[in-house]
Structure 1
């Protein structure tokens, strides 16, 4: 029996035990599910019990969700979505899924002596509402949030990384028109990680030639963060480990920015209820 199959069985059992109370993990993190008058896909994504409260009502196309007293307002893209000239875009639109409306999450980053650090609130109203929320887009050059929705992001090279719950996309390949590439140095510290140690670079190569998507064990579309972590011992095939909850790994990433002009050393120091604690700094190429 494969580790992936065992992981899915464990996560499914935990979801049944937790029920719908609070934000019990990553169900419908960014899979093929939409809310409102839309259909719900076949994802059953279960992660940690985040202890978030999702309140508000789900209307025909609008979703108002409350997470840690912050209201996230998003508009689902079911009526007249923009037309984007990207290969397999219809499949990507459904698979992420993509939404109109800028994510209301905060990017609280400060810079000191060249090191950017702080938090990125990618809670997106809780795991149950994530499918109807846009990703949160971040520019590593400035440490600022980029005010675009999921459709505008496909025509934008200002953002480098996009966050929603446990998903992190890079502005590359199936995720955007940027030149972002991602590398990883495992089992190291932020201070000790060296660009020279990176041997493999990845992009968000999600679709095959027939527009059939590759997915991770909880049915989310894969990203570069998956492709560099297929051997994760917990079976998550991603940047995090899942052992009765989500935890970070002692890994450091290197990110070539969307413009192809800079490289950043990037570390995820913590994750709680969809809020990332991160740091990064530019390194010589």
Structure 2
């Protein structure tokens, strides 16, 4: 049975802030009055054709329906903590739900109601989640120019107050020129996306603590780290032992921390 993200956050004692598709007249969050993050100018304004589009659709098992997963947000200092229901029908579904697509806004991470099929032509989304795979809108994932850079080492997320001068930004390229999938090395046949380093797999989805800088199509930059794939108790067990229980893990309910950078 799918566990709703709202119930997980309530159980953890979080105060929820629902994401509204229409935005907010009084936004709270990383791009508000205290958050900074003014655009540096657009990086791209027109879509670029996705290379290997047919192979991407087939080998990534993309779907033509909109995923039902929800996104909720809470204030996290000067940034946002977002919880994303990327369960996609459960780990044993022969035809999983589509990815949950979202864009970073001043009010929080906002769901974009599009299908996988539509995502390959849309610049309206920035990031997408399904089970343990996270994509960004560029390269083989989409026609925009969202890029990401892994910061070296394991820096303190809270200590990062500005974007590094010249991060090694990369787009989401995980197919070869001959359109063969490039795996991430986990042994699960998942793609080597720009953010695939957020986890490792000793027998469960263990967080690495990596921090990324993302650059959006409008030029804004943000810091991001994935803190949870499971519920609180299961993630703690995975981090400590590399193993998890058979049931009630809350898997694929992401928690991410992020904030726009000045």
**TM category, shorter:** 0.5 to 0.7
Residue of 152, 158, 162 corresponding to 1:191: 158
Following TM superposition, by how much is the alpha carbon of 1:267 offset from its aligned partner in structure 2, in angstroms? 1.3
Partner of 2:214: 255
2:176 and 2:212 map into 1 onto residues whose CA distance is: 25
Partner of 1:221: 191
Following TM superposition, by how much is the alpha carbon of 1:197 offset from its aligned partner in structure 2, in angstroms? 7.2
Partner of 2:228: 270
Measured at CA, do residues 248 and 113 of structure 1 come closer, stay the same or move farther in structure 2, by a change above 3 Å? closer
For 2:56, what is the secondary structure of its paired residue? Answer: helix
Following TM superposition, by how much is the alpha carbon of 1:263 offset from its aligned partner in structure 2, in angstroms? 0.6
| Structure 2 gap ranges (5+) | 6-47, 231-250
Alignment of 1:1-285 (within 5 A): 66-68=1-3, 86-111=50-75, 114-129=78-93, 131-141=95-105, 142-185=108-151, 186-193=153-160, 195-196=163-164, 199-216=167-184, 217-226=187-196, 238-257=197-216, 259-272=217-230, 273-284=251-262
| Structure 1 gap ranges (5+) | 1-65, 71-83, 227-237
Please, what is the CA RMSD of the aligned residues?
A: 2.3
1:196 and 1:94 map into 2 onto residues whose CA distance is: 37
1:242 and 1:208 map into 2 onto residues whose CA distance is: 24
Question: Could you tell me whether the CA contact under 8 Å between 1:138 and 1:161 is conserved in 2?
Answer: yes
More deviation, 125-134/273-282: 125-134
- Post-superposition Cα deviations, 1:46-66, rounded to whole Å, max 9, x if no partner, equal xxxxxxxxxxxxxxxxxxxx4
1:198 and 1:251 map into 2 onto residues whose CA distance is: 18
TM-score for both structures, normalised by structure 1: 0.62
TM-score for both structures, normalised by structure 2: 0.68
Q: Higher RCO, 1 or 2 (CA under 8 Å, sep at least 6)?
A: 2
